Amino acid sequence: MLRVLYARVAQERTCQWTRPRLEEHQRRSLENLRRFALARSPFYRAFHRGLESRPLQDLPILTKAMMMEHFDELVTDRDLRLADAEAYLRDDDDSGLFRGRYVVLATSGSTGRRGVFVFDEPEWIRAVAAITRPIAWAQAAGGARKPPRAALIASAARWHYSARVGRALANRIAPALRLDAATPTDELVRQLNDWQPRALATYPSVLRQLAAEQVAGRLRIPLRNIATSAEVLTADIRALALRAWGIPVQDTYGATEYAPIASECALGRKHLFENGALIEIVDRNGNPVLPGDVGERVLLSVFARRIQPLIRYEISDLVRVSPENCACGRPYRVIESVEGREEDILYFPSADGGPPVAVHPNCFHDALERKAVDAWQIIQNDSGLKVNLIGVQSGEARTVVANAVRDVIAATGAAVPQIAIQCVSALERGATGKAPLILSRVARRTRLETHKSGVL
């Protein structure tokens, strides 16, 4: 724990830098990363051949599929094999490190393919230290002198980032209750009432249900800090949490590949953590977008990753960077919004027979979050749309929601599909306990071919 705290202090010092000093640090760190990858990774020697002296923007983009396909050649420990790492992840005994020295994590594969990521000890210490930085920002904003009694509700899967970090931070100084996000709401309420946490970290979809329970009086916990991550935090959920506890929510944006990517300061502005990575916001073709415009890809070049170098690694998130600096004085750029992933965009046939029409997730957020429902979820399948609703009883309310969804799609010029409204007690969750608001179960390959070719 002392090594984690020391690493966090070093990372936090960069908040006092000027922007030119930060950019010089990025330049040197990127040079060292590229030099190391070329010397130690057979994959990068081939992938960047002839481009060794070119600027970063001229290098090819690394996708998750490409990284996984060439895993054995990409890693710099020549004895590491993907098959062995996968076997380790399948083993129920998680008491030891992989090969006695590595932390191995995996993603759920919700965007089309599972990713496997390996950290050596120094890399893992830096990663855990980075995860605690938003916690420190929240405590500074609240004036806390010591860590409050906390509850973490996230994935319990041993291969998931949140579960592993929770174990790494478990100690007597910062007592925490760790619960599985897939636990039924009434059981979460019971355990939280018993534990009485003052700080809560969870997914936005879980927070929404807990806030509704607090407003209803069934949940009774005196929260002073609320943190969310891993899903889109909507204005509706923020407002509900403010109504339940009278405090703002601190949202963090991150990924297993680099966490956190960004987090909110005391002024509510979401800063990119640019001391540990060069973060590019680009369009579909990999070209940088102007501040204020929405990018369709985030490209990460992570400075401290040496066992598994990530250079221009693609995450398909829809991100908008602000053209303005934050008044808090940090040199990091500010994100105006994280609007979901490219996979959250739904495609429909055009009403007039033209090219397929894309419907952005924000269209559904704007239409549904002011309706009289506790929670909602839209799932696209081959037969149309299924809309899961929590807290809706009357047929009139179901009709209102169906009409809202129908109007959103029709307004884009798309042909309105069959819409099935289903009242449920809980939203559908994936392997990590996340409950995406918008989910397409149309084959990934079909969606990509549809978008690129313009035909269904």
Which sequence spans correspond to the domains of the chain?
1-267, 345-453
Rg over CA atoms, the chain? 22
Q: What is the mean pLDDT of residues 351-357?
A: 87
Q: What length does the chain have?
A: 456
Q: Is the pLDDT of residue 17 over 60?
A: yes
Per-residue model confidence (pLDDT) at position 2: 81
Measured CA to CA in angstroms, residue 61 lies from 91, 156, 311, 444 at distances of 33, 32, 8, 20
Neighbours of 397 (CB within 10 A): 17
SS3 of residue 279 by DSSP: strand
Q: What is the mean pLDDT of residues 366-370?
A: 71
Q: Say yes or no: domain 1-267 is CATH 3.40.50.12780.
A: yes
Measured CA to CA in angstroms, residue 2 lies from 13, 96, 130, 378 at distances of 17, 21, 14, 45
Give the integer Cα–Cα distance in Å for 63 and 316: 9
CATH-assigned architecture of domain 345-453: 2-Layer Sandwich (3.30)
Listed in sequence order, the residues at least 6 apart from 308 whose beta carbon sits closer than 8 Å to its beta carbon are 74, 75, 76, 117, 118, 119
Per-residue model confidence (pLDDT) at position 165: 72
Residue listed under structure tokens 């992570």? 302
pTM of the shown model: 0.80
Q: Is the pLDDT of residue 302 over 90?
A: yes
Q: Is the pLDDT of residue 121 over 90?
A: yes
Per-residue model confidence (pLDDT) at position 456: 28
Shortest CA distance to 287 belongs to which of 278, 274, 296?
Answer: 296
Q: Is the pLDDT of residue 425 over 90?
A: no
Q: Is the pLDDT of residue 191 over 50?
A: yes
